[in-house]
Amino acid sequence: MSERVKLHYFNGRGKMESIRWLLTVAGVEFDEFLLTTREQYVKLLNDGDLMFQQVPLVEIDGMKLIQTKAILNYIAEKYNLHGKDIKDRVKINMYSEGLMDLMEMIMVLPFAQDPKSKLGNIETKAKERYLPVFEKQLLSHIYLVGGRLSLADVLLMECTLMLEEKFVGILADFPNVKAFQGRMSRNEAIARFLQPGSKRKPQPDDVYIKSVKEVLNLNISFP
Protein backbone atom coordinates (compact mmCIF):
# COMPACT_ATOMS: atom_id res chain seq x y z
CA MET A 1 0.00 0.00 0.00
CA SER A 2 1.49 3.32 -1.04
CA GLU A 3 1.90 6.17 1.41
CA ARG A 4 -0.67 8.93 1.45
CA VAL A 5 0.18 12.08 -0.42
CA LYS A 6 1.52 14.85 1.82
CA LEU A 7 0.97 18.55 1.18
CA HIS A 8 3.15 21.23 2.76
CA TYR A 9 1.60 24.67 2.61
CA PHE A 10 -0.15 27.41 4.55
CA ASN A 11 -3.61 26.95 6.03
CA GLY A 12 -5.29 28.61 3.08
CA ARG A 13 -5.90 28.42 -0.65
CA GLY A 14 -2.99 29.94 -2.50
CA LYS A 15 -1.30 27.85 -5.15
CA MET A 16 -1.97 24.62 -3.29
CA GLU A 17 -5.74 24.88 -3.73
CA SER A 18 -5.70 23.73 -7.37
CA ILE A 19 -3.64 20.73 -6.25
CA ARG A 20 -6.23 19.94 -3.57
CA TRP A 21 -8.96 20.16 -6.22
CA LEU A 22 -7.14 17.84 -8.61
CA LEU A 23 -6.28 15.23 -5.98
CA THR A 24 -9.89 15.26 -4.83
CA VAL A 25 -11.23 14.68 -8.34
CA ALA A 26 -8.65 11.93 -8.84
CA GLY A 27 -9.91 10.25 -5.67
CA VAL A 28 -6.58 10.57 -3.89
CA GLU A 29 -6.48 10.91 -0.10
CA PHE A 30 -3.94 13.38 1.23
CA ASP A 31 -2.62 14.75 4.50
CA GLU A 32 -1.74 18.37 5.08
CA PHE A 33 1.23 19.68 7.02
CA LEU A 34 0.46 23.31 7.64
CA LEU A 35 3.18 25.94 7.69
CA THR A 36 2.44 28.27 10.59
CA THR A 37 5.91 29.31 11.74
CA ARG A 38 9.07 30.63 10.13
CA GLU A 39 11.00 27.76 11.73
CA GLN A 40 8.99 25.14 9.80
CA TYR A 41 9.79 26.85 6.52
CA VAL A 42 13.48 27.23 7.37
CA LYS A 43 13.68 23.53 8.22
CA LEU A 44 12.31 22.63 4.78
CA LEU A 45 14.96 24.89 3.27
CA ASN A 46 17.76 23.41 5.37
CA ASP A 47 16.63 19.88 4.54
CA GLY A 48 16.94 20.70 0.84
CA ASP A 49 13.26 20.08 0.14
CA LEU A 50 12.52 23.40 -1.58
CA MET A 51 14.49 23.54 -4.82
CA PHE A 52 13.70 27.19 -5.49
CA GLN A 53 12.91 28.12 -1.90
CA GLN A 54 9.18 28.06 -2.65
CA VAL A 55 6.07 26.17 -1.67
CA PRO A 56 3.80 24.32 -2.51
CA LEU A 57 5.68 21.12 -1.70
CA VAL A 58 3.98 17.79 -2.40
CA GLU A 59 5.30 14.40 -1.34
CA ILE A 60 4.03 11.70 -3.70
CA ASP A 61 5.39 8.37 -4.96
CA GLY A 62 8.60 8.78 -3.00
CA MET A 63 9.31 12.20 -4.53
CA LYS A 64 9.23 15.70 -3.14
CA LEU A 65 7.76 17.89 -5.87
CA ILE A 66 7.69 21.66 -6.14
CA GLN A 67 6.41 24.11 -8.79
CA THR A 68 2.62 24.11 -9.12
CA LYS A 69 2.40 23.37 -12.85
CA ALA A 70 4.82 20.45 -12.57
CA ILE A 71 2.83 19.01 -9.67
CA LEU A 72 -0.50 19.40 -11.45
CA ASN A 73 0.84 17.83 -14.63
CA TYR A 74 2.27 14.86 -12.73
CA ILE A 75 -1.02 14.21 -10.94
CA ALA A 76 -2.97 14.65 -14.17
CA GLU A 77 -0.72 12.18 -15.99
CA LYS A 78 -0.81 9.64 -13.17
CA TYR A 79 -4.59 9.66 -12.81
CA ASN A 80 -5.60 9.87 -16.49
CA LEU A 81 -6.65 13.51 -16.38
CA HIS A 82 -4.25 14.74 -19.05
CA GLY A 83 -5.82 13.61 -22.30
CA LYS A 84 -5.30 10.57 -24.48
CA ASP A 85 -2.32 11.79 -26.51
CA ILE A 86 0.21 14.58 -26.93
CA LYS A 87 -2.21 16.78 -28.88
CA ASP A 88 -4.81 16.55 -26.12
CA ARG A 89 -2.15 17.35 -23.53
CA VAL A 90 -0.97 20.53 -25.20
CA LYS A 91 -4.56 21.77 -25.48
CA ILE A 92 -5.19 20.93 -21.84
CA ASN A 93 -2.01 22.77 -20.87
CA MET A 94 -2.99 25.86 -22.87
CA TYR A 95 -6.39 26.06 -21.19
CA SER A 96 -4.90 25.27 -17.78
CA GLU A 97 -2.17 27.90 -17.95
CA GLY A 98 -4.66 30.56 -19.01
CA LEU A 99 -6.90 29.67 -16.06
CA MET A 100 -3.96 29.73 -13.67
CA ASP A 101 -3.01 33.20 -14.92
CA LEU A 102 -6.53 34.43 -14.18
CA MET A 103 -6.74 32.76 -10.78
CA GLU A 104 -3.37 34.18 -9.78
CA MET A 105 -4.74 37.70 -10.28
CA ILE A 106 -7.37 36.89 -7.66
CA MET A 107 -4.94 34.96 -5.49
CA VAL A 108 -2.63 37.92 -4.91
CA LEU A 109 -5.41 40.40 -4.17
CA PRO A 110 -5.23 39.99 -0.37
CA PHE A 111 -1.58 41.04 -0.47
CA ALA A 112 -2.15 44.16 -2.60
CA GLN A 113 -1.99 47.62 -1.06
CA ASP A 114 -5.38 48.53 -2.54
CA PRO A 115 -7.21 45.32 -3.57
CA LYS A 116 -10.46 47.06 -4.52
CA SER A 117 -8.72 49.14 -7.16
CA LYS A 118 -7.69 45.96 -9.00
CA LEU A 119 -11.09 44.28 -9.09
CA GLY A 120 -12.33 46.18 -12.14
CA ASN A 121 -9.32 45.17 -14.21
CA ILE A 122 -9.68 41.53 -13.21
CA GLU A 123 -13.39 41.51 -14.05
CA THR A 124 -12.76 43.09 -17.44
CA LYS A 125 -10.04 40.58 -18.31
CA ALA A 126 -12.23 37.69 -17.16
CA LYS A 127 -15.14 38.84 -19.32
CA GLU A 128 -13.18 39.91 -22.38
CA ARG A 129 -10.12 37.67 -22.49
CA TYR A 130 -10.77 34.44 -20.64
CA LEU A 131 -14.44 33.49 -20.30
CA PRO A 132 -15.26 33.92 -24.03
CA VAL A 133 -12.67 31.25 -24.85
CA PHE A 134 -14.38 28.69 -22.63
CA GLU A 135 -17.88 29.77 -23.62
CA LYS A 136 -17.05 29.07 -27.26
CA GLN A 137 -15.41 25.71 -26.59
CA LEU A 138 -18.27 24.50 -24.37
CA LEU A 139 -20.88 25.37 -26.99
CA SER A 140 -20.60 21.91 -28.49
CA HIS A 141 -18.49 20.04 -25.94
CA ILE A 142 -19.29 18.53 -22.54
CA TYR A 143 -15.63 18.72 -21.52
CA LEU A 144 -12.94 21.08 -22.77
CA VAL A 145 -10.66 18.55 -24.44
CA GLY A 146 -11.06 15.08 -25.89
CA GLY A 147 -14.56 14.38 -24.63
CA ARG A 148 -13.31 13.41 -21.19
CA LEU A 149 -12.64 14.99 -17.80
CA SER A 150 -9.22 16.59 -17.54
CA LEU A 151 -7.07 18.95 -15.51
CA ALA A 152 -8.41 21.86 -17.57
CA ASP A 153 -12.00 21.10 -16.53
CA VAL A 154 -11.06 20.92 -12.86
CA LEU A 155 -9.26 24.26 -13.03
CA LEU A 156 -12.15 25.88 -14.90
CA MET A 157 -14.55 24.72 -12.19
CA GLU A 158 -12.32 26.14 -9.49
CA CYS A 159 -11.87 29.39 -11.41
CA THR A 160 -15.59 29.97 -12.00
CA LEU A 161 -16.29 29.64 -8.29
CA MET A 162 -13.48 32.08 -7.46
CA LEU A 163 -14.87 34.57 -9.96
CA GLU A 164 -18.38 34.33 -8.56
CA GLU A 165 -17.06 34.99 -5.07
CA LYS A 166 -15.70 38.32 -6.28
CA PHE A 167 -18.20 39.19 -9.03
CA VAL A 168 -21.71 37.94 -8.36
CA GLY A 169 -23.51 37.13 -11.60
CA ILE A 170 -20.37 37.26 -13.75
CA LEU A 171 -21.41 34.07 -15.57
CA ALA A 172 -24.79 35.48 -16.62
CA ASP A 173 -23.46 36.25 -20.09
CA PHE A 174 -21.71 32.90 -20.37
CA PRO A 175 -24.48 30.27 -20.22
CA ASN A 176 -22.32 27.43 -21.51
CA VAL A 177 -19.76 28.03 -18.78
CA LYS A 178 -22.54 28.22 -16.18
CA ALA A 179 -24.03 24.96 -17.45
CA PHE A 180 -20.59 23.36 -17.30
CA GLN A 181 -20.25 24.51 -13.69
CA GLY A 182 -23.58 22.87 -12.90
CA ARG A 183 -22.50 19.59 -14.48
CA MET A 184 -19.20 19.59 -12.65
CA SER A 185 -20.88 20.29 -9.32
CA ARG A 186 -22.74 16.99 -9.71
CA ASN A 187 -19.49 15.03 -9.89
CA GLU A 188 -19.49 13.00 -6.65
CA ALA A 189 -15.98 13.97 -5.58
CA ILE A 190 -16.55 17.65 -6.35
CA ALA A 191 -19.93 17.65 -4.61
CA ARG A 192 -18.26 16.36 -1.44
CA PHE A 193 -15.42 18.87 -1.78
CA LEU A 194 -17.92 21.73 -1.93
CA GLN A 195 -19.58 20.67 1.31
CA PRO A 196 -18.70 22.27 4.68
CA GLY A 197 -16.03 20.37 6.53
CA SER A 198 -14.10 19.28 3.44
CA LYS A 199 -10.45 20.08 2.78
CA ARG A 200 -11.41 22.96 0.52
CA LYS A 201 -10.08 26.18 2.01
CA PRO A 202 -12.13 29.35 2.57
CA GLN A 203 -11.37 32.71 1.02
CA PRO A 204 -8.20 34.31 2.46
CA ASP A 205 -8.67 36.28 5.66
CA ASP A 206 -6.40 38.44 7.83
CA VAL A 207 -5.17 35.41 9.77
CA TYR A 208 -4.03 33.69 6.58
CA ILE A 209 -2.35 36.83 5.26
CA LYS A 210 -0.52 37.40 8.55
CA SER A 211 0.63 33.78 8.63
CA VAL A 212 2.01 33.85 5.08
CA LYS A 213 3.89 37.07 5.73
CA GLU A 214 5.39 35.75 8.96
CA VAL A 215 6.45 32.39 7.53
CA LEU A 216 8.02 33.92 4.41
CA ASN A 217 9.29 37.00 6.26
CA LEU A 218 7.43 39.34 3.90
CA ASN A 219 7.30 42.94 5.03
CA ILE A 220 5.90 44.52 1.88
CA SER A 221 2.65 44.47 -0.06
CA PHE A 222 2.31 44.10 -3.81
CA PRO A 223 1.56 47.35 -5.63
Residue-wise pLDDT for 192-219, tens only, equals 999 999 999 999 999 999 999 999 987 7
Structural domain 86-187, CATH architecture? Up-down Bundle (1.20)
Let me know the angle formed at the C-alpha of 1 by 58 and 12, rounded to the nearest 5 degrees.
Answer: 25
Query: Residues 6 or more apart from 38 whose CB is under 8 A from it?
Result: 214, 215, 217
* Angle between helices 151-166 and 116-125 in degrees, nearest 10: 130
For 74-124, what is each residue's pLDDT tens digit? Answer: 999 999 999 999 999 999 999 999 999 999 999 999 888 888 888 999 999
* pTM for the full predicted model: 0.94
CATH no. of 5-79+194-216: 3.40.30.10
**From-to residues of CATH 1.20.1050.10 in the chain:** 86-187
